[in-house]
Structure 1
Amino acid sequence: MRHVIGPGRPLARPGQVIGLLGGSFDPPHEGHVHVTLEAMKRFRLDRVWWLVSPGNPLKREGPAELPRRMAAAKAMVGGHPRITVTDIESRLGTRYTAQTLQGLAGAYPGVRFVWLMGEDNLAGIHRWDRWQAIFDSVPIGVLARPGQPAAARTARASRLYRGARLGVAAAGLLARAPAPAWCHLPIPLRSISSTAIRASGNWVR
Structure 2
Amino acid sequence: MRAGLRVGLLGGSFDPPHAGHLHIAREALKRFGLDRVWWLVSPGNPLKRAGPAPLADRMAAARALVDHPAIAVTDVEARLGTRYTAETLAALQAACPGVRFTWLMGADNLVQFHRWERWREIMARVPVGVLARPGLRLAAQTSVAARAFAHARLPAAESRRLGKAAPPAWCFVNVPMVDLSSTEIRARGGWRRPVPRG
Structure 1 and Structure 2 fold alike (TM over 0.5): yes
Match of 1:197 in 2: 185
Q: Residue by residue, what CA displacement relative to the aligned partner does 1:94-116 show, whole Å, maximum 9, x if unpaired? A: 01000000000000011000000
| Structure 1 gaps, min length 5 | 1-11
The answer on whether the counterparts of 1:17 and 1:45 sit within 8 Å (CA) in structure 2 is yes
Matched, 1:15 2:4: yes
Superposition deviation, residue 204 in structure 1: 5.5
- Distance, in Å, in 1 between the alignment partners of 2:104 and 2:22 is 13
Q: 2:108 aligns with which of 96, 104, 120?
A: 120
Q: Residue by residue, what CA displacement relative to the aligned partner does 1:25-65 show, whole Å, maximum 9, x if unpaired? A: 00000011111101101111000000000000000000000
The answer on whether the counterparts of 1:198 and 1:204 sit within 8 Å (CA) in structure 2 is no
Match of 2:24 in 1: 35
Q: 2:58 aligns with which of 69, 85, 94?
A: 69
Q: What residue identity is the alignment partner of 1:13? A: R
Match of 2:35 in 1: 46
Matched, 1:166 2:162: no
Matched, 1:144 2:132: yes
- Distance, in Å, in 1 between the alignment partners of 2:75 and 2:63 is 11
- Distance, in Å, in 1 between the alignment partners of 2:123 and 2:8 is 15
- Distance, in Å, in 1 between the alignment partners of 2:58 and 2:2 is 27
- Distance, in Å, in 2 between the alignment partners of 1:90 and 1:14 is 24
Q: Superposition RMSD on alpha carbons, in Å?
A: 1.0
- Distance, in Å, in 1 between the alignment partners of 2:192 and 2:186 is 7
SS at match of 1:19: strand
Superposition deviation, residue 150 in structure 1: 2.0
TM-score normalised to the size of structure 1? 0.92
TM-score normalised to the size of structure 2? 0.95
Identity of aligned residues (%): 62
Q: What residue identity is the alignment partner of 2:129? A: G
SS at match of 1:114: strand
Q: 1:104 aligns with which of 92, 97, 101?
A: 92
149-158 or 135-144, which deviates more: 149-158
Q: 1:90 aligns with which of 78, 81, 98?
A: 78
SS at match of 1:159: helix
Superposition deviation, residue 146 in structure 1: 1.1
Write out the 4+ residue segments of structure 1 that deviate beyond 4 Å after TM superposition.
none
Match of 2:196 in 1: none
SS at match of 1:175: helix
SS at match of 1:58: coil
Q: What residue identity is the alignment partner of 1:21? A: L
Match of 2:120 in 1: 132
Q: What residue identity is the alignment partner of 2:107? A: E
